[in-house]
Chains A and B, each alone.
Chain A
Amino acid sequence: MSTRTVEFELATPGLDAAGRDIRVPLGVAGPDADELAPEHMLINIGPQHPATHGVLRLVIELDGETVKRCIPHVGYLHSGFEKLGEYRHYNQIVPLTDRTDYLSPMANNVCLALAAEKLMGITVTERCQVLRVIACEMSRIISHIVWLGTTGIDIGAFTPVLWLFHQREKIYDLQEAWTGARLTTSLTRVGGMMADIPDGWEERLRNFCRAFPKVLNEVDTMFTRNAIWCGRNQGVGVISRAAAVNGSLSGPMLRSTGVDYDVRKDRPYLGYETYDFDVPVGEFGDNYDRYLVRLEEMFQSTRILEQALDRLAGLRGAPVNVDDPRVILPPKSRAMSDMESMIHHFKQVMEGIRPPVGEAYMGIENPKGELGYYFVSDGSAKPVRWRIRPPSFLNLSALPQMCEGALLSDVIAINASVDIVMGEIDR
């Protein structure tokens, strides 16, 4: 098994046109070679490309196969989410959140509800909190599955993606049974959820938690000690701790560099401080560490899911939504028969829920990193400003520094390891 060292040895130290150090990979000649053929190639990857994980455009300046500069261009999926949010009631924004990070829709739904509830000073019920933890961890698993499968395809391994996507289908079945939709779940509402879990759902999730680690172990066998995987990923796409913190990276990108920062541990929400789980932290900040971090996170998510299911067993029959008629729609039977309920229903549907004047930022640990929703309210039913703090956007902005000095094929591997979702980057 061959590994490349993290620190590149400079054969002949040199500076590029801007005066920055050129990190020369082993075996490639340094600036002396410029006498022979000083042409740099400018190539364009994307925006339509199988390996860019969405509509991302990379403009790469190549010296032979070595990347001199990598400039990402984003915005090809800009859909005006933040503008749309200003024209919608808070509950109407929930379906929009499915479509930003579409790989982990339920986690976005949860973040939106938490942000709106922070703005309105609402605390949800215990059963709702446990259900939301389940939603977030299921989302973490499916997001990491897509990441691992597609990264495998980029490096050249086609089998694990089929195994993993089959697991994804099981989660999709659970999401569909709960919300009616496989992908665009719109799970949460301000003050609660769209619905409680149906009968038999807990058993199915438990079966999944029992079977999934076996599949992960198989994938682990395929990848972790695989010479090709290690050769392509170890020492590739290195970013230092200081650069990661200064670059506003978050999630596995940040943890792979050795920074032990996970929003679930740092500023816990939904009762995460009461769950028993570990946060994997890397050391070298390369692709391989990001792979190990995310793989372990899937194991840990399964652990959290099992604990949450145990708690659910003790909360049978507990209410899911808060008992606040200003934010939760009354049951239809009461809305049709009881005057006060009818008025509550009318006000909520026609006018929307009015939070107090103020603003709130709520950050949660999304699979990609710290997802934050920032609401500014002027007291009306539609927010003045809805800002999505996109983890992938900031993570991707570190791509140029990770790619400089790497080979062209490394660019694909590094881009894959950032784990981007263009819907969230471009919003």
Chain B
Amino acid sequence: MTAPAPSPSVAALRARFGDSVVRHRVSCGDTIVWVARDRAHDILAWLRDDPGQAFDYLTDVTAVEYRDAELPLEVVYQLRSLARHADLRVKVELDKAAPLEVDSVCDLWTGANWVEREVFDMFGVTFRGHPDLRRILMWDTYAEGFPLRKDFPLRGHFSRSEQTRQALAANPESHYSPEELSLAETYHEIPDDMRERLSRGEHGEVA
């Protein structure tokens, strides 16, 4: 049985970006392309904008860490071209010994905003240029680490009582700092004690 042919985007990418297209593979009918991290943003922009590619729909952004500790962490972009009915999976390998960083694609697809935040939350990958990179599923001050990493145990690092204590101490309504909202325009006008409470995340003392 002959191996299935990869998507024609692979050849087009190689022609355009040369060695930045590291390798490709077809797995279960899906074409996967590994690209160099430094050119990842340019490559993804080209895939979106080039009329022959037209990957206008970003299906998903996620990350994969393998059980084999020697393998790098991969950031995975699932792309789709609605007009051409084509899919492509683009991967960027990140060396685990170095800081996990890659350029954000929020400027290309607005849908990348939350999914990149989730990759940051679960894996600790920093997306350079992301407008609002903070945790999305765990609370902002979550201290145990990045849950989907393979060195993170299923039940977490801390004991259950410590997790409960930290959870109860995290004030849910202070997770969005008032400075970041346009309330900041009048921040200097509000009374001192209110400003102090807002910064502490409290809601006033119960007498």
Contact = CB atoms under 8 A, between A and B. Distances in A.
Do A and B share a direct contact in the complex (Cβ within 8 angstroms)? Answer: yes
A387 B28 contact: no
B137 A74 contact: yes
**Chain B CB within 10 A, most for which of A68, A248, A359, A385:** A248
A73 B82 contact: no
- Interface size on A, as a range, is 35 or more
A18 B10 CA distance: 40
Given A75-B136, A393-B114, A42 B109 contact: no
Given A38-B186, A39-B186, A61-B181, A426 B137 contact: yes
Interface string B85-123: 101010000000000000000000111111100100010
Interface string B181-193: 1110110000000
A246 B181 contact: no
B50 to A, nearest CB: 16
19 contacts: A38-B186, A42-B181, A47-B172, A57-B172, A73-B176, A75-B137, A121-B28, A245-B57, A246-B56, A246-B109, A246-B110, A261-B82, A361-B30, A361-B87, A361-B89, A370-B59, A374-B76, A376-B64, A385-B64
B6 interface: no
Nearest to B176: A59
Interface in A389-426: 389, 393-394, 396-398, 426
Contacts of B29: 118, 360
A16 B139 CA distance: 29
**Chain B CB within 10 A, most for which of A87, A259, A376:** A376
Interface of A: 16-18, 38-40, 42, 44, 47, 57, 59, 61, 68-69, 71, 73-76, 78, 80, 82-84, 87, 118-119, 121, 243, 245-249, 259, 261, 266-267, 358-361, 363, 370, 372, 374, 376, 378, 384-385, 387, 389, 393-394, 396-398, 426-427
A266 B28 CA distance: 18
A261 B59 CA distance: 13
A384 B66 contact: yes
A359 B76 CA distance: 12
B181 A359 contact: no
A277 B89 CA distance: 31
Lowest 8 A-B CB distances belong to which pairs? A248-B111, A75-B137, A360-B28, A358-B27, A78-B137, A397-B114, A389-B60, A385-B64
Nearest to B58: A248
B113 A87 contact: no
A40 B185 CA distance: 9
A378 B67 contact: yes
A249 B57 CA distance: 9
A248 B172 CA distance: 28
Given A359-B27, A387-B76, 9 more contacts: A82-B122, A83-B154, A248-B109, A359-B30, A359-B32, A361-B59, A384-B66, A389-B60, A394-B115
A211 to B, nearest CB: 37
Nearest to A47: B172
B74 to A, nearest CB: 9
Interface in B151-181: 152, 154, 172-173, 175-176, 178, 181
Given A374-B62, A384-B66, A17 B182 contact: yes
B28 A359 contact: yes
Contact of B67 (A57, A84, A247, A384): A384
B56 A42 contact: no
Contacts of A361: 30, 59-60, 78, 87, 89
A396 B118 CA distance: 14
Given A42-B178, A59-B176, A359-B32, A387 B56 contact: no
